[in-house]
Amino acid sequence: GAGVSQSPSNKVTEKGKDVELRCDPISGHTALYWYRQSLGQGLEFLIYFQGNSAPDKSGLPSDRFSAERTGGSVSTLTIQRTQQEDSAVYLCASSADRTNSPLHFGNGTRLTVT
């Protein structure tokens, strides 16, 4: 079946512009995560959606970052007024429920801010 789909796969933007990154999770998965990964580094948690609960936004690095999940499915991560330090791979993952289910990752969006 279809896995987690992210778009675009690559995005180059100028400093100061806004960007939107999209994640389409596996159908039926209630949990959705956004992570950021800089080159050669680990996974930096950004935000977590679980069903209809309020999202856990504790990992968002600044108020320039926001995310939505519409209808419990597709999610959009928005970065306003991008900065060069925002350059990274943004990974989305989904899982079947809130306890112990493995995460299924998308291929990520590589964001480059020039």
Partner 1 sequence: GQQVMQIPQYQHVQEGEDFTTYCNSSTTLSNIQWYKQRPGGHPVFLIQLVKSGEVKKQKRLTFQFGEAKKNSSLHITATQTTDVGTYFCADTSMDSNYQLIWGAGTKLIIKP
68 binds partner 1 (CB under 8 A): no
> How many residues interact with partner 1 (rule CB under 8 A)?
20
Shorter beta-carbon distance to partner 1: residue 9 or 83? 9
Nearest approach, Cβ of residue 53 and partner 1 (Å): 9
Q: Which own/partner contact pairs does 36-42 have at CB distance under 8 Å and 24+ positions apart?
A: 36/88, 36/89, 36/90, 36/91, 37/88, 37/89, 37/90, 37/91, 37/108, 38/87, 38/88, 38/89, 39/88
What part of residues 7-36 is at the interface with partner 1 (CB under 8 A)?
Answer: 31, 33
Give the residue among 12, 60, 63 at the shortest CA–CA distance from 36. Answer: 60
107 binds partner 1 (CB under 8 A): yes
Residues contributing to the site for partner 1 (CB under 8 A): 31, 33, 42-43, 45, 48, 50, 56, 91, 93, 98-100, 102-108
